[in-house]
Amino acid sequence: MLDQFDIREDDMPTEMQRLLRTYPRDTWDAHPGFREKTQQWLGAHRMFRQLSSLLCKDTQSYLNGDKDAQDYAGRLSYRGNALVGNLHGHHGWEDHSYFPELSAADPRFDAGLEILEKDHAALDIVLESFTRTANRAIQLVQLDKSAAREEAGKLLGVAETIEAFLERHLSDEEELAVANPATRGLALRLPDPLPRHLQDHQVASFFGAVTKKRDLAMFMLMLRCGLRVEEVANLTLGAIDYGRNQIMVRCGKGAKDRIVFINIDAADALAAYLQIRPTTTEQRIFLVEKGVYKGKPISVRGIQKRIEYYSKKSGIPVSCHQLRHTMASQLLNAGADVVTLQYLLGHRRIKTTMRYARLSNQKARNDYYLTMTKVEERSGTTVTWNVRC
C-alpha cells in the first residue's frame, strides 16, 4: 500500500542523527533540561502511535469476524476522528511554532525540518484517503454488510500505511529535535553541508541527454523558475500567464501562493510541450505518456524517476532539488539579492535562503574586486611592504 502514496521511505540524513549518539533516547526523561513543551510533544506522539495501531487491530478483528460491525463502526468513527483531527492540529502547531523555535535555536536544524515539513504534506494526502475510505465503510455497515467488509479491507491497507509512515516520521522528528530543547544552550556539532548545485558544463551535459519535450519542460521550470518538484506536478494550465511571462504557484510549500517569472528558454520548452500535449479536460499540465495511467497527471515520484533516468544516461548526478539549488546560485552570482531569492524560491525563513548566499563564491569575488578598486581609487595610493624574499 505504501507505493500508492508519494511518501518518504528513506531515513533522515546520517548527519542529522548524530546528536542522538550523544543524548540517547533513554536519557531524555532524566535530563535536567527536558522541558514541559517537549514532554507534551512526545506525549502527543505516543497517542498517535497508539491510535494508528488500534485502528489496524480493530479493522483486522472486524475482517476476521471477531468484532461486531456496529461496534467496529463506532470505534472507527471515534478513533479515526481522534487521529486525523489531532494530527492536523499537531502538524499545524509544529510548522508554525515548534519548528521555527528549533530553527531559531540553531539554523542547522533547517535541512531536517524541511524534510519533516514535506512529510506533513505527504501524510495529509494519506489521511485524506483514510477519511474517505473510513466514511464509506461506516455508511456501508448500515446498508450492505458485504460491501462494508470489502471497504474495510481497503481501509486496512491505508491504516497500515499510516502506522508505518508515522513510526518512521515520528521517530525522525524525535531524534532530530528532542536533544536541543532538552539541553539549554546546546550548540549542535553537526555537519552543515551547503546545497549542492550543478556547474555550467554539468547542466549542458545533463540537458543534452533529455529527449522528451515534456521532460525538458518540467526540468526547465525547476532550473529557470525555481519550482519544487511537487509544484511542477501540480501546475495547471490556468497558472501560466504568457502575457506577463509569469506563473502563479498556488498552494506551494506551507500552503502559500507566489508568483514566479518565466524566461525565454523555459517558456519555449513549455510551449513546445503544450503543442504536442494530448487534448484533455485534465487541467494539470504534465501527463503520463504511456502505460495504464496514460493521460493522467504525472506524480512527483514519476518526475523523480525521469530525472533519475536522464542522470544515469548523462552520467551527471542530478536531483530535482539540485536544479533549484543551481538556479539560486546562478542568480546570486549574477547579482540578485537574498530577499529576492527568498521570494522566488518560496522560502518561509530567510535563514533557509541565506544558505545559498554562502554558496555564492563568484559573487563574493566580484564584489571584493569591484569595491576594492573603489577603495584604491579613493585613497590615491597603493601601499607596498618592504619585504625581502
Domain chopping of the chain, boundaries? 2-182, 200-368
Separation between Cα atoms, residue 75 and residue 366, nearest integer Å = 66
Q: What is the pLDDT of residues 208-266, one digit of tens each?
A: 999 999 999 999 999 998 898 889 999 999 999 888 888 998 765 555 678 888 888 89
Per-residue pLDDT of the chain (389 residues; tens, 9 = 90+): 444 445 555 555 554 554 455 555 555 555 554 455 566 667 777 888 888 888 898 889 888 888 888 888 888 888 888 888 888 777 777 767 666 666 665 566 666 777 777 777 777 888 888 888 888 888 888 888 888 889 888 888 888 888 887 777 777 776 665 544 444 444 333 344 555 678 888 999 999 999 999 999 999 999 998 898 889 999 999 999 888 888 998 765 555 678 888 888 899 999 999 999 999 999 999 999 988 889 999 998 899 999 999 999 999 989 888 898 888 888 877 777 777 888 888 877 776 776 665 555 555 566 666 666 666 666 654 444 444 43
Q: What is the pLDDT of residue 276?
A: 94
Q: What is the 8-class DSSP label of residue 29? A: T
Q: Taking the CB of residue 182, how many other CB atoms lie within 10 A of it? A: 20
Q: What is the pLDDT of residue 272?
A: 94
Separation between Cα atoms, residue 370 and residue 364, nearest integer Å = 10
Grid coordinates in use for 85? Answer: 483531527
Q: What is the pLDDT of residue 27?
A: 55
Separation between Cα atoms, residue 327 and residue 261, nearest integer Å = 12
By C-alpha distance, which of 195, 24, 230, 22 is closest to 111?
195
Q: Which residues pair with 121 in a beta bridge?
A: none
- Reduce the DSSP state of residue 375 to 3 states and report it: helix
- Reduce the DSSP state of residue 315 to 3 states and report it: coil
- Alpha-helical segments (H) within the chain: 18-22, 36-63, 69-93, 99-105, 110-143, 145-177, 179-182, 200-208, 213-225, 229-233, 264-276, 300-314, 320-333, 338-345, 350-357, 361-379
Q: Which CATH class is domain 200-368?
A: mainly alpha
- Tell the burial category of 32 from Cβ atoms under 10 Å away from its Cβ (0-12, 13-18, 19+): exposed
Catalytic residues: 228, 253, 321, 324, 347, 356
Q: What is the pLDDT of residue 363?
A: 58
Close Cβ partners of 52 (under 8 Å, ≥ 6 residues apart): 83, 159, 162, 163, 166
Q: Fold identical between 2-182 and 200-368? A: no
Grid coordinates in use for 366? Answer: 566580484
Q: What is the 8-class DSSP label of residue 259? A: E
Close Cβ partners of 104 (under 8 Å, ≥ 6 residues apart): none
Q: What is the pLDDT of residue 131?
A: 87
Write the CA distances from 17 to 22, 35, 63, 167, 179, integer angstroms.
Answer: 10, 21, 39, 16, 11
DSSP 90-158: HHHHIIIIIHHHHHHH-GGGHHHHHHHHHHHHHHHHHHHHHHHHHHHHHHHHHH-HHHHHHHHHHHHHH
Q: What is the pLDDT of residue 284?
A: 93
Domain 2-182 sits in CATH 1.20.120: yes
Grid coordinates in use for 279? Answer: 487534448
Give Cα 329 distance to the centre of its chain.
20
Close Cβ partners of 65 (under 8 Å, ≥ 6 residues apart): none
Close Cβ partners of 190 (under 8 Å, ≥ 6 residues apart): 15, 16, 18, 19, 108
